[in-house]
Chains A and B, each alone.
Chain A
């Protein structure tokens, strides 16, 4: 029996013992096909999924390599059934190809006629295809390129899309690397994307995804549409692009609720794209308003459903997805795979931290006890009010004050879900509050003040969850959240992970009410942190006060 670092489980998870001498080699060979699911301290868990295997096929790996990697590094014999299953699954990718035919345009060709027969019998496929040109080829309406890829994936026969991309309207874009350089992993991510044509780059918050986007634009040298989550984020993209590339302010347009500019590089928010008036999406024509050469999707894991629908029609354009996690709380990972593209690059959080590009963080859960009076009120609260009730308990205020006091002088963010609670906290801490109704100008002003160190404590609502670049934030205190969202946890942690000028550690506190659903939700989020490799502690409020 040989002594490999990998244990293959019957549910197709792979356990990798990180302390093992061969762990690094093993990680390198399994990363292309297995999704890192959990990375706690000692044993990392990878999961082999059909999507992961197809991702690997799309990246040019074959079943033999996968099987060989498993057999080579596995501590125990790998069940034959699992190897066979992997080979079978991988074999399904690429039996069907979407290709460009010089005469007929877009066609679906098969290397296996039986598979083509099978999918052509599907009711969902029939409306998407045209004439059968020969036994192995069928015409596909160019407008259905995305749709058919989605359906084929659902049928379990993912098509390889070799139909290529339109170049789009050329526009000179270069990286202005004056006094800074792309980090190696950012370069790799951009190269990986460009080589694959379309796809998703997975990088932790704070690892500089914007620059990967900029690098991709510099490669495309074409007009670009960037879709981001909100206006603040849009401004930040613009700011960053002006700073890091040859683009000027005038070349970058903002397409949001406030402004509707269409320029060679246009940054639009998901919100404006998905605004519906009288049953139609009035801003949809943005996609067709220019001959875009590249479309960048920021925070792909938040991509709203209608955008998927539009994206299906944009299959001839290069698409880059940027995200911190492929986990979608709605389970639409398959749509990301088929419509935006396979995963082209990912780097685990801890690895980038080890390289010093993101700050190490100390995670701590502070448990507060409800007063007897609050407990009674909590027990009788309506089910839908319960979380709100325990999450906003007054006891949290004292703990938050104590924590802020403890880190006095360091830039601190207090993050919460409920406006009332935030207002109270703002008052108690004597700190400005940024919430949904705060104007963008006011937000920018406050963020600038925070960045400059004029304000050391900022109370923010969930508007600040995403893409706000506050590099100096060192302490984050979360007092309430969107139930148990792991995504939100990742984003909030990301707020404090920008590398610090003085290199000291970031602190991430969650203040949680004991013995309530707040604690249950917190457990869910904490698990995510632990799985990302962050050791965390649980302390009682009394230890802080």
Chain B
């Protein structure tokens, strides 16, 4: 792999001076390892190695790379960040305490190699260098202590001390006085690098000083007490003595800081209180008979498919509306949960899963509703194992986290199911990790949740925080619900999914699923019991003709007058129902059930309801016969309801007009059956009083007010017509984006001012002279010389950048 040395064209080995040169020296395998470890660098493919180096050093990319490190690699990087740059391996090993723990020693080289592979560390083996951005992230300069909790070096912390004060400190610390600030601080630094001398100094410390130091040793290194410039002999408190001897230095106006050298001395040279070189072991919570676990998982897988099916069937007829902001209303979720006999979080989980699998979606109408998609019908036709596979595949890859439904986002808004704000990029990766860890356990062992959480926390220390730990718990629960695990054990059929081997999964799962039945048990209490899953046509018919009373391994259906009526409404006849029951019952059909069907059928349809817009009645059936026969009346769509009554589909006024044109003299009827008398009078309201005016106008204008108004208008007008100063003429600088970035980053390092072309949010182009301070996350923070203030510029709005001619700077 990479050696840290570069061979140039002449074959002469030279030391890499930059990351780019280091990368240039790596072989193809090492480069592809880098790109595999940091896929973000491939999008888009960098033009050359310099660009790769630049891109890999951007803050966003570095943070991403750091997030992928396990706990120990991260600790190595953290130690490197507080060590000298470049750093000898021995120094780094000392910071990690290699000699105290053989595990650390064993893990050290692989960890450094991993960091080097990820291009976070470069340089030759004896001179390890952490990428500068990583250093800034892990050991930020200024107020924020890094993850190691170490304060700034003497050289930085003491930079603000006055020479006189520095002399006093040197004297109290028992060091030779020197007037050069740099060598004075170096002397202090050297004092604490020397165990014996440092111990000797600490031995003189007054009582309580140790206690103060121990509070700050492991960070944060800041003490909230106003710094005091006292001499050792005047010190009245331990804190004052520590300040007098330079063990604590001022940090701003009201805090003191423990310099890094001192802290390291107190820590015995270690960067971390606890180094975790070995991944925590995943313990088995219990062992289960693997067969039983597989059966339990398969049963759950079957339930999963059935639950989604039930949910979709429910929404086929009662589709809830889509919230205006997208998602499903809380009430609709509750209703679905009740109808499906699930808790709300469970209902949310299954609905999210169906949504993720493309089985349900908004229907796109003006008044939008959630409804199953055509893909759902397709899905229904597949065998159960394949149906489950789609759900499992969806879940493994989903970034949407159903467990977040009902929690509140940063704006304190409740997150709705099927809405936005549920995506967590960590979720799919973590699910695979958790299942992978379960797969690694001995067969039949259920993973212990706490140890899994600890292990995942070790693997992904920088990812997610609380969310990560919650996700582990959710993953375990959801895997159980989905049937990937049975009683906490990863099912044998689920394991191949982790390697995307779906064929094996299907072949292992299918035989475990219960065989659909074609028979039910009919009982005299009007229940039908399906002692297992039913074939779809039977299940569908039963679902219409009877109500489901309980679900699980079996299904209990109950026939009620209502349910039988429903079947009759759906177009079945009593005879069909009898035949259906007789065919599918493994026992004789009980007499009360037969009676019930007949009894309901007897009453069914005795009353008929239809819609008509108007009716015609006439005591003379012959006249009605005549009307029905008359083709001119066809447009009224007359139908005979009784010998003396016709129903019309046209409204009464149209019927009247048509009948009159046909030469009849019909009379209109009121709702009570009286003849409606149309009055010839024009329409009039009852007596009304006219509205009284409501005084709401402006009060009368006084002369004084008028004068003042005119004056104000004149002033405004003058202000508007004054000509504005024209912007600086000249063309905007134009440079390619990569060059813009590189130039700006250089300018940050050199502190030079540059000339940029900038297009603001309204599209107006302008030129500015800026001194960039920081380039990160697509923004440049810079001092704008034109406006004399610090501003943030979007990188993508900078048209180009040019260095200033000397006279301009």
Interface residues of A (CB under 8 A from B): 1, 7-11, 13, 15, 17, 38, 40-43, 45, 71, 74-81, 514-515, 526-527, 530-531, 534-538
Contacts and interface: CB of A to CB of B under 8 A. Distances in A.
12 contacts: A1-B295, A9-B550, A15-B529, A15-B531, A42-B523, A42-B529, A43-B521, A43-B529, A76-B553, A77-B292, A77-B298, A80-B486
Interface string B520-548: 01011111010110000000000000000
Contact of B551 (A9, A38, A42, A526): A9
B552 interface: yes
Given A11-B551, A17-B521, 12 more contacts: A1-B295, A13-B556, A42-B521, A43-B527, A75-B553, A77-B292, A77-B298, A514-B599, A530-B523, A530-B525, A531-B525, A537-B591
B531 A530 contact: no
A515 B551 contact: no
Interface of B: 292, 295-296, 298-300, 303, 341, 480, 486-488, 512, 514, 521, 523-527, 529, 531-532, 550-554, 556, 587, 590-592, 595, 599, 603
The main secondary structure of chain B at its interface with chain A is mixed
B296 A75 contact: no
Nearest to B552: A9
A74 B295 CA distance: 12
Contacts of A1: 295, 512, 514
Contacts of A535: 524, 590-591
Contacts of B512: 1
Contacts of A15: 529, 531, 554, 556
Given A1-B295, A17-B531, A40 B523 contact: yes
B592 A537 contact: yes
Nearest to B590: A535
B524 A40 contact: yes
Contacts of A17: 521, 531
A527 B595 CA distance: 14
Nearest to B554: A7
A401 B514 CA distance: 55
A258 B553 CA distance: 58
Contacts of A42: 521, 523, 529, 587
Contact of A8 (B295, B553, B590, B599): B553
Nearest to B298: A77
A336 to B, nearest CB: 25
Nearest to B531: A7
B487 A10 contact: no
Which 10 residue pairs are nearest across A and B when measured between Cβ atoms?
A: A9-B552, A530-B525, A76-B553, A77-B296, A7-B554, A40-B523, A10-B552, A77-B299, A7-B553, A538-B595
B531 to A, nearest CB: 6
A36 B745 CA distance: 79
Given A7-B531, A40-B525, A76-B299, A538 B552 contact: no
Nearest to B294: A77
Interface centre among B292, B300, B523, B524 (most CB of A within 10 A): B524
Interface centre among B292, B480, B525 (most CB of A within 10 A): B525
Given A42-B587, A77-B296, A526 B592 contact: yes
A11 B552 contact: yes
A535 B521 CA distance: 15
Nearest to A47: B550
Given A1-B514, A80-B296, A80-B480, A530 B552 contact: no
Given A43-B529, A76-B299, A9 B554 contact: yes
A206 to B, nearest CB: 21
Contacts of B599: 514
A100 B654 CA distance: 92
A408 B550 CA distance: 45
Nearest to B533: A76
A536 B529 contact: no
Contacts of A76: 299, 514, 532, 552-553
A9 B556 contact: yes
B551 to A, nearest CB: 5
Nearest to B603: A515
B592 A530 contact: yes
Contacts of B590: 41, 535
Nearest to B307: A10
B261 to A, nearest CB: 49
A194 to B, nearest CB: 36
Contacts of A40: 523-525, 527
A42 B526 CA distance: 12
A462 B531 CA distance: 41
Nearest to A81: B480
Nearest to B525: A530
A525 B587 CA distance: 24
B531 A75 contact: yes
Nearest to B591: A537
A538 B592 contact: yes
Contacts of A514: 599
A10 B486 CA distance: 16
B592 A38 contact: no
Contacts of B525: 38, 40, 527, 530-531
B591 A80 contact: no
Interface centre among B303, B514, B554 (most CB of A within 10 A): B554
A10 B524 contact: no
B780 to A, nearest CB: 55
A156 B50 CA distance: 69
Nearest to B513: A1
B550 A530 contact: no
Contacts of A77: 292, 295-296, 298-300, 486
B109 to A, nearest CB: 44
B488 A9 contact: no
Given A42-B523, A75-B531, A10 B550 contact: yes
A527 B524 CA distance: 8
B595 A11 contact: no
Contact of A9 (B296, B299, B487, B553): B553
A29 B182 CA distance: 87
Contact of B523 (A43, A526, A537): A43
A40 B487 CA distance: 33
B607 to A, nearest CB: 13
B385 to A, nearest CB: 15
A99 B591 CA distance: 56
B485 to A, nearest CB: 9
Given A9-B552, A43-B521, A535-B590, A79 B299 contact: yes
Nearest to B523: A40
B587 to A, nearest CB: 6
Contact of B524 (A74, A80, A530): A530
A79 B552 CA distance: 9
Contact of A80 (B487, B514, B526): B487
A124 B199 CA distance: 64
Contact of B550 (A11, A79, A515): A11
Contacts of B526: 527, 530
Contacts of B603: 515
Interface centre among B488, B531, B553, B599 (most CB of A within 10 A): B553
Contacts of A526: 592
Nearest to B558: A527
Contacts of B529: 15, 42-43
B527 A80 contact: no
B556 A536 contact: no
Contacts of B532: 75-76
B307 to A, nearest CB: 10
Nearest to B488: A80
Nearest to A530: B525
Nearest to A514: B599
Contacts of A11: 341, 550-552
B592 A536 contact: yes
Contacts of B514: 1, 76
A74 B554 CA distance: 11
Nearest to A13: B550
Nearest to A527: B525
B242 to A, nearest CB: 45
